[in-house]
């Protein structure tokens, strides 16, 4: 009997890891998918060749429709909720740049997964939403927290309380999506952006991300202190010396993450 196809696949291409959720028909985030996501994140965290992570869904219809509600009814729900929050928090704290490429609809836990990434790129015509209240429940994997931080309290409450979806263009105007592109241009744009980020200095990107997140969590004064400490760590790196030398020599720098 042939083995079942993997629910999550990772392909490394020129220092960009392309992680694809492949759980048809809607790329639901079942317990098995969450376990596979967590395992791949653990592997990528130790793979220094993967300088950028792009997450997408198989097919053109769904990035992910979110939690597997049918399966969830037979699961240990507290454990399922905890696993989803843990994995998305680990993704949010991933030291390298992360991009959610939304080639299809992102709903519920699917949108929560996208919001845990640093950058969201969406195809025109894609819908996004937190429709959990339509089912008598609420977002449980960070939707009540990350959505408000991205679009503000009032807009987040409107989306969550009504359960209505918004278009990718609306989401871009809210600040939920970084950029909306024609469907046939999405992959090329994502590849170009990921390639550009992969050539940036890894240490500087990680330190900048950590300082920014620390300030958002702890406040401006703490963020400024974190930024100052990070700058002092970064300035002594080989990459910083290479950046300065390349600037003086009028050439493109070659960063090695040291």
Per-residue pLDDT tens for 166-221?
999 999 999 999 999 999 999 999 999 999 999 999 999 999 999 999 999 999 99
In the prediction, which pLDDT does 43 show?
Answer: 94
In the prediction, which pLDDT does 72 show?
Answer: 67
Is residue 118 scored above 60 in pLDDT? yes
Selected catalytic residue, list 40, 112, 172, 207: 112
Query: What is the mean pLDDT of the segment spanning 217-242?
Result: 92
Distance CA 115, CA 91 (A): 10
Percent of the chain with pLDDT strictly greater than 70: 97
Which pLDDT band, with edges at 50, 70 and 90, does 159 fall under?
very high
Round the average pLDDT of the chain to a whole number and report it. 93
Stretch among 23-32, 71-80, 156-165 having the lowest mean pLDDT: 71-80
Query: What is the mean pLDDT of the segment spanning 89-116?
Result: 97
- Our answer to whether residue 242 is catalytic in this structure is no
In the prediction, which pLDDT does 3 show?
Answer: 67
DSSP readout, 209-237?
HHHHHHHHHH-HHHHHHHHHHHHHHHHTS
CA 50 to chain centre: 15
What pTM was computed for the model?
0.93
In the prediction, which pLDDT does 2 show?
Answer: 56
Distance CA 17, CA 209 (A): 19
In the prediction, which pLDDT does 61 show?
Answer: 94
Is residue 248 scored above 90 in pLDDT? no
Selected catalytic residue, list 3, 35, 40, 132: 132
In the prediction, which pLDDT does 117 show?
Answer: 98
- Our answer to whether residue 227 is catalytic in this structure is no
In the chain, DSSP finds a helix count (H) and a strand count (E) of 11, 10
Distance CA 140, CA 84 (A): 8
Neighbour tally for 88: CB within 10 Å: 24
């Amino acid at each position: 009997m042939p083995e079942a196809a993997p629910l999550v696949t990772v392909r490394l291409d020129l220092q960009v890891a392309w992680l694809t959720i492949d759980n048809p028909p809607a790329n639901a985030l079942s317990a098995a998918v969450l376990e596979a996501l967590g395992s791949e994140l653990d592997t990528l965290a130790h793979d220094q060749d993967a300088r950028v992570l792009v997450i997408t869904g198989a097919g053109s219809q769904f990035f992910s429709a979110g939690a597997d509600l049918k399966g969830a009814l037979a699961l240990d729900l507290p454990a399922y909720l905890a696993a989803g929050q843990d994995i998305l928090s680990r993704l949010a704290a991933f030291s390298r740049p992360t991009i959610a490429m939304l080639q299809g609809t992102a709903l519920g836990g699917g949108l929560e997964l996208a919001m845990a990434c640093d950058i969201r790129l969406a195809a025109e015509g894609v819908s996004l939403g937190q429709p959990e209240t339509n089912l008598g429940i609420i977002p449980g994997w960070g939707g009540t927290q990350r959505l408000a931080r991205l679009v503000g309290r009032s807009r987040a409450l409107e989306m969550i309380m009504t359960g209505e979806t918004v278009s990718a263009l609306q989401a871009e105007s809210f600040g939920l999506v970084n950029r909306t592109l024609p469907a046939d241009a999405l992959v090329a744009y994502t590849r170009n952006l990921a390639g550009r980020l992969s050539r940036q200095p890894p240490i500087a990107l990680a330190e900048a991300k950590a300082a920014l997140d620390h300030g958002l969590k702890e406040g401006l004064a703490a963020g400024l202190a974190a930024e100052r400490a990070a700058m002092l760590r970064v300035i002594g790196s080989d990459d910083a010396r290479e950046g300065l030398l390349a600037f003086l020599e009028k050439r493109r720098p070659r960063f090695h993450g040291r």
